[in-house]
A and B are shown apart, each in its own frame.
Chain A
Amino acid sequence: MPAIPAHYDYLTFHLARGRQAWADFAAHVRDTAAPAIRAAGGELVGLFQGQLGFASNEAVVLLRWPTAARDRLREVDQAPGVVTMHPEKLTPTVRPADDKLPRRGGIYVHRWFTVDADSVADFVALSNRAWENFEGSYDTEIFGLFTAETTAADLREGAGRLLLLTYYASHGVWENSREQTNDPAGLFVKRHALTRTTVGRSSRLVAPT
């Protein structure tokens, strides 16, 4: 019987403007929320600060839980400085493993894909095959590819959404890696053919460190 995958929460926060709001929020996530979530059986996988493609007052928190029970989100949505929180429930696909944590340093690109709902499995399979050569060619590591819980809008539009979270040593490495993703004979181009829309945003991993 296959193991039940971990459950992930991808939380996008809009904070009050100003550096202090970010600092207070980050301190709360590290010092208050993370221990409380750990005590409840969950785990802080990452706190990300936006670089390109994020507003200056945005933060992203990725949490992992062994079960679907998510009774401790209040530990983060009541953090100081939070104006709004947008949650996405994610299910891991071929990555990450349930004990994997993101590596430190570099940048993380959060790339959302919208595909036809019935193409999700093909999209995941193509991605998994493409990564083998991709990771050997650049200083990069795929942390995870997740499917997002279907929303009413997804159902209406027959869409499936996925989040790809990838480590790159720098923005320069990310840019260099575009050569392979644009190779017309490559797997990424086949994957692109399945893609309705995509947007990538870069960030720094702030915690855990």
Chain B
Amino acid sequence: MEDTGDNFARAIASDKLLVIYGVWKELRGGRIGPRRSELTPSHLRRATPWAFTVDLIGDDFRFGFAGDRLMQFLETRCATPNLSGLREIAFFAAAEKLFRRCVETRKPLVSGPKPTFYRGKEHLERQVLLLPLSDDGLDVTGLLGAFDTWQLGTNRHTVSPLLAD
């Protein structure tokens, strides 16, 4: 499913995710996405605790920065720094599918709000935003992500991820 930029922004239920989307759009200009080094704390400001980055290394994803709120949700540091080492956990397997879709399409992607099946957090619903980063201006070399949660039942749920135009 694809939609226009405006509708994409309207699909973002979280004000923090919306801020991060705005920062990304501003930094991107006409490119696939900004370089990771362009994302400074001054840009992300109050949305920083909800932000994260992953780097695309070969065919794998490596976790980079993770904001405080995301770390609170996960409760523990990931057992391995690479996503490939976490595929047996359904939450990360689903994350990898979303990451790959964003990389392949080179477009912003928003998933949810929908229930999370991260162990111990089943009482929450989440929305995740994925935005391409490109260090060379040609390929997606990483992702800027944002993640927010609410008590289950707060928002109307969506089944499929939405890609921006």
State which residues 30-49 of B face A: CB under 8 Å. Answer: 35-42, 44-46, 48-49
Partner of B44, one of A50, A52, A54, A199: A52
Contacts of B39 in A (CB 8 A): 52-53
Q: How far is the CA of A174 from the CA of B42 in the complex (A)?
A: 10
Whether B82 is near chain A, meaning CB under 8 Å from some CB there, is yes
Q: Is the CB of B48 within 8 A of A175?
A: yes
The residue on A at minimum CB distance from B66 is: A51
Contacts of B49 in A (CB 8 A): 171-172
Q: How far is the CA of A54 from the CA of B81 in the complex (A)?
A: 18
Q: Is the CB of A199 within 8 A of B55?
A: no
Q: Is the CB of B62 within 8 A of A178?
A: no
Partner of B41, one of A18, A19, A109: A109
Contacts of B68 in A (CB 8 A): 170-172
Whether B135 is near chain A, meaning CB under 8 Å from some CB there, is yes
B130 CB to nearest chain A CB (Å): 16
Contact with B along A172-209 (1 / 0, CB 8 A): 10110010000000000000000000011110000000
Contacts of B64 in A (CB 8 A): 51, 56
Q: Is the CB of B40 within 8 A of A52?
A: yes
Q: How far is the CA of A51 from the CA of B68 in the complex (A)?
A: 12
Range for the number of chain A residues in contact with chain B: 20 to 34
Q: How far is the CA of A56 from the CA of B81 in the complex (A)?
A: 13
State which residues 58-106 of B face A: CB under 8 Å. Answer: 58, 62, 64-65, 67-68, 81-82
Whether B57 is near chain A, meaning CB under 8 Å from some CB there, is yes
Contacts of A17 in B (CB 8 A): 55, 57
Contacts of A175 in B (CB 8 A): 41, 45-46, 48
Q: Is the CB of B37 within 8 A of A53?
A: yes
Whether A58 is near chain B, meaning CB under 8 Å from some CB there, is yes
Whether B132 is near chain A, meaning CB under 8 Å from some CB there, is no
Contacts of B112 in A (CB 8 A): none
Whether B142 is near chain A, meaning CB under 8 Å from some CB there, is yes
The residue on A at minimum CB distance from B69 is: A172
Contacts of B142 in A (CB 8 A): 56
Q: Is the CB of B55 within 8 A of A56?
A: yes
Given contact pairs A19-B81, A199-B40, A52 touches B57 in the complex (Cβ within 8 A): no
B3 CB to nearest chain A CB (Å): 29
A12 CB to nearest chain B CB (Å): 11
State which residues 18-35 of A face B: CB under 8 Å. Answer: 18-19
The residue on B at minimum CB distance from A17 is: B57
Q: Is the CB of B62 within 8 A of A53?
A: no
Q: Is the CB of A52 within 8 A of B55?
A: no
Interface residues in chain B, defined as those with a beta carbon under 8 Å from any beta carbon in chain A: 35-42, 44-46, 48-49, 53, 55, 57-58, 62, 64-65, 67-68, 81-82, 135, 142
New contact pairs (6) apart from A17-B55, A51-B64, CB-CB < 8 Å: A51-B65, A58-B37, A175-B41, A175-B46, A199-B40, A202-B40
Kindly list the 3 A-B residue pairs having the minimum CB-CB distance in the complex, ordered from nearest: A53-B40, A55-B37, A56-B55
- Cβ contacts A to B, 6 pairs, < 8 Å: A19-B57, A56-B55, A56-B142, A58-B37, A178-B45, A200-B42
